[in-house]
Structure 1
Amino acid sequence: MKALVLSGGEGSRLRPITHTSAKQLVPVANKPVLFYGLEAIAEAGITDVGVVVGDSEAEIRAAVGDGSRFGISVTYLRQDAPLGLAHAVLIARDFLGDDDFVMYLGDNFIVGGITDLVHAFHSHRPAAHILLTKVSDPTAFGVAELDVNQHVVRLEEKPQIPTSDLALVGVYMFTTAIHEAVRAIEPSQRGELEITHAIQWLVDQGRDVRATTISGYWKDTGNVVDMLEVNRSVLETIEPACLGEVDADSDIVGRVRIDEGARVIGSRVVGPAVIGAGTVVSRAYIGPFTSISEGCRIQETEIEYSIVLRDASVVGVRRVAASLIGRNVEVTPAPRVPFEHRLVLGDHSKVQICS
């Protein structure tokens, strides 16, 4: 069995972070989201992995390399434009050959991995096996209807009037039947070849399409709110460790990992939290569910429930919460000018101001 990991896409919901960084490489607990998926694939015993890349190809290649660090062998497959998940299957035809495969969206996060699901697929080998989870707003997802035997009878992409609350999770398992399906469908109204349409084609042809509804934790980390929530979930599982330096005037409370070369000076860190290699935390408070990447400077600041990417500095800011701070960012207090706000914002930014 092979794996097809989708790591293209523009990440528009994470702008401006994704103007300069691939969304799949935004870190959760200081490890890129994509890496969790690659590790889950390796744990399931799959070693031959095709990674579909787009404009961020160079960055993905630099981060993943040949895959040996994960115990897999990676082949990079270029998708020149984001033309849909089914289009990704089309361009991967030569790589996939006649093998069964799992398709994994690189910005998805599933607690517990996919090993049991892959084994179940091997046992029955339906034409397609999809994962579902109950969501509060099905209009934002592909939605499935099931019969009493948990077989798929209908799929619809982002329906205005959903017929169920079962959304497709970004992990799919296919036999070679999917190759005929992706060739048979036409682009949707948004100009993409939808994988939901391809799976529906299999259903209409009488092929065996099954589903598993997962009760564990799943998130599509395509926006800041979900990214912070995944970070919270992962931090709750970290093992506390101190590989850096903590002075006598500092307090470390709960699950906290301090990586090599990091220094905590006159500060209080309340876990779960992680402090990256080479980061300096000075006269600051780091609150729960916070990930500070490597090479950062956090000084005279309170920050919690946030993700700070590498080489960023937050100095002299009274309080920061529920934030995603990009690489090489500098956050400092604004001059005290009455009755005005001075802003320098990237394209597509969202700002909340108390006036």
Structure 2
Amino acid sequence: MKALVLAGGSGTRLRPITHTSSKQLVPVANKPILFYGLEAIAEAGITEVGVVVGSTAAEIQAAVGDGSAFGLRVTYIPQSEPLGLAHAVLIAQPFLGDDDFVMYLGDNFVMDGITDVVEEFRKDRRDAHILLTRVADPSAFGVAVTDADGRVTELAEKPRHPRSDLAVAGVYLFTPVVHDAVRAIRPSARGELEITDALQWMIDHRLAVHSTVITGYWKDTGNVTDMLEVNRTLLERVEPRVDGFVDDESEIIGRVRIEAGAEVRRSRIVGPAVIGAGSVVTDSYIGPSTSVAENCRITSTEIEYSIVLRDSSFDRIRRVEASLVGRNVKVTLAPRLPATHRLVIGDHGQVQLSS
């Protein structure tokens, strides 16, 4: 059995972060979201992985390499533009061959991994098996209708009037018959080959499409709100550890990990939180659900429920909450007089000012 990991796409909902970085490499709990998926695939006993890449291919390849760090053998599959999940299957056929495979969306997070569903698929070997999850707003997802035995009877992509609250999560398992389906369908109204259309083709041709409803935690980390929520959830599992330097005037409370090379001076860190290697926190407060990546400088600042990417700095900032801060960002206090704000903001940026 092989795996197909989708790591292309432009990440428009995470702009401006994704103007310069792959959305799959944005870290949660100081580890790229893509890495959690690769680890879940390895834990399921799959070693041959095809990674579909787009405009950020060089960055993905630099981070993942040949896959050996994860116990995998990785083959990169270029996709000229994001033309849909079924299109990714179509172009990956030479790699997939006649093998069964699991398709995993690289910006999705499944807390309990995929080992159980992979073992179930290997045992029963239906034509397709998909993960579903109950959501409050199914119209934003692919939506499935199932019978009492979990067999999928109908699928629709982002329907205006959903017939169930079961959204298709980002994990799909297929036998080679899916290649017939992706060749048979046509682009949707948005110009993409939809995997839901391919699955519906399989259903219409009396092929067995089954499902498992996720009872644990799942998130599509395509926007800032969900990214922060996944970060919070993962930090709650952090094992407390201090490998860096913490002076006697600092206070560390709860689940806090201070990485080797990090320094905390005259500061209060309340977990769950992670301070990355090489970062220096001075005269500051780092509150719950915050991850500070490598080589950051936090001085006389309060930060809570946020993600700060590497090489960024905050100097004398009173309060930062619910924020995703990119790489090499500098946040400083403006002069008190005149009362003005001086901003340099990239495309699609969002800024909230108290006055």
Give me the whole-angstrom Cα distance separating, in 2, the residues matched to 1:160 and 1:306: 33
Partner of 1:314: 314
Partner of 2:15: 15
Q: Is 1:45–2:59 an aligned residue pair?
A: no
Q: For this pair of structures, how many residues does the alignment match? A: 355
Report how far residue 143 of structure 1 moved: 0.3
Partner of 1:196: 196
Q: 1:337 to 1:184 in 2, by over 3 A?
A: farther
1:150-299 residue pairs with structure 2 within 5 A?
A: 150-299=150-299
Report how far residue 342 of structure 1 moved: 3.3
Query: Could you give the per-residue CA deviations for residues 152-211 of structure 1, whole angstroms, max 9, x where no partner exists?
Result: 111000011111100000000000010000000000011000000000000000000001
Give me the whole-angstrom Cα distance separating, in 1, the residues matched to 2:222 and 2:337: 36
Give me the whole-angstrom Cα distance separating, in 2, the residues matched to 1:268 and 1:215: 36
Report how far residue 341 of structure 1 moved: 3.7
Give me the whole-angstrom Cα distance separating, in 1, the residues matched to 2:282 and 2:347: 32
Partner of 1:105: 105
Higher mean alpha-carbon deviation, 330-339 vs 110-119, is at: 330-339
Q: Structure 1: state its 5+ residue gaps.
A: none
Question: Which amino acid letter does the alignment assign opposite residue 280 of structure 2?
Answer: V
Q: Is 1:349–2:334 an aligned residue pair?
A: no
Report how far residue 123 of structure 1 moved: 1.1
Q: Is 1:140–2:143 an aligned residue pair?
A: no
Q: Structure 2: state its 5+ residue gaps.
A: none
Query: Could you give the per-residue CA deviations for residues 237-261 of structure 1, whole angstroms, max 9, x where no partner exists?
Result: 0111111100010001111100010
Question: Which amino acid letter does the alignment assign opposite residue 139 of structure 2?
Answer: T
Give me the whole-angstrom Cα distance separating, in 1, the residues matched to 2:337 and 2:68: 54
Partner of 2:65: 65
Give me the whole-angstrom Cα distance separating, in 2, the residues matched to 1:343 and 1:190: 36
Give me the whole-angstrom Cα distance separating, in 2, the residues matched to 1:337 and 1:191: 53
Give me the whole-angstrom Cα distance separating, in 1, the residues matched to 2:245 and 2:351: 36
Partner of 2:31: 31
TM-score (normalised: structure 2): 0.99
SS class of match (2:335): coil
Partner of 2:5: 5
Partner of 1:332: 332
Partner of 1:78: 78
Report how far residue 337 of structure 1 moved: 4.7
Question: Which amino acid letter does the alignment assign opposite residue 57 of structure 1?
Answer: A
Give me the whole-angstrom Cα distance separating, in 2, the residues matched to 1:246 and 1:32: 26
1:95-134 residue pairs with structure 2 within 5 A?
A: 95-134=95-134
Report how far residue 345 of structure 1 moved: 1.2
Report how far residue 44 of structure 1 moved: 0.1
Give me the whole-angstrom Cα distance separating, in 1, the residues matched to 2:153 and 2:43: 31
SS class of match (1:331): strand
Give me the whole-angstrom Cα distance separating, in 2, the residues matched to 1:258 and 1:277: 8
Question: Which amino acid letter does the alignment assign opposite residue 181 of structure 1?
Answer: A
TM-score (normalised: structure 1): 0.99
Question: Which amino acid letter does the alignment assign opposite residue 312 of structure 2?
Answer: A
Give me the whole-angstrom Cα distance separating, in 1, the residues matched to 2:341 and 2:303: 22
SS class of match (2:183): helix
Give me the whole-angstrom Cα distance separating, in 1, the residues matched to 2:9 and 2:304: 29
SS class of match (2:211): strand
Report how far residue 343 of structure 1 moved: 2.6
Give me the whole-angstrom Cα distance separating, in 2, the residues matched to 1:26 and 1:114: 21
Give me the whole-angstrom Cα distance separating, in 2, the residues matched to 1:337 and 1:225: 34
Give me the whole-angstrom Cα distance separating, in 2, the residues matched to 1:134 and 1:209: 18
Give me the whole-angstrom Cα distance separating, in 1, the residues matched to 2:188 and 2:347: 28
Q: 1:157 to 1:337 in 2, by over 3 A?
A: farther
Give me the whole-angstrom Cα distance separating, in 1, the residues matched to 2:89 and 2:208: 19
Query: Could you give the per-residue CA deviations for residues 57-76 of structure 1, whole angstroms, max 9, x where no partner exists?
Result: 00000000000000000000
Give me the whole-angstrom Cα distance separating, in 2, the residues matched to 1:338 and 1:125: 70
SS class of match (2:167): strand
Query: Could you give the per-residue CA deviations for residues 250-276 of structure 1, whole angstroms, max 9, x where no partner exists?
Result: 001111100010000000001110000
Runs of 4+ in 1 over 4 A off after TM superposition: 337-340
Question: Which amino acid letter does the alignment assign opposite residue 79 of structure 2?
Answer: Q
Give me the whole-angstrom Cα distance separating, in 1, the residues matched to 2:73 and 2:289: 33
Give me the whole-angstrom Cα distance separating, in 2, the residues matched to 1:228 and 1:84: 26
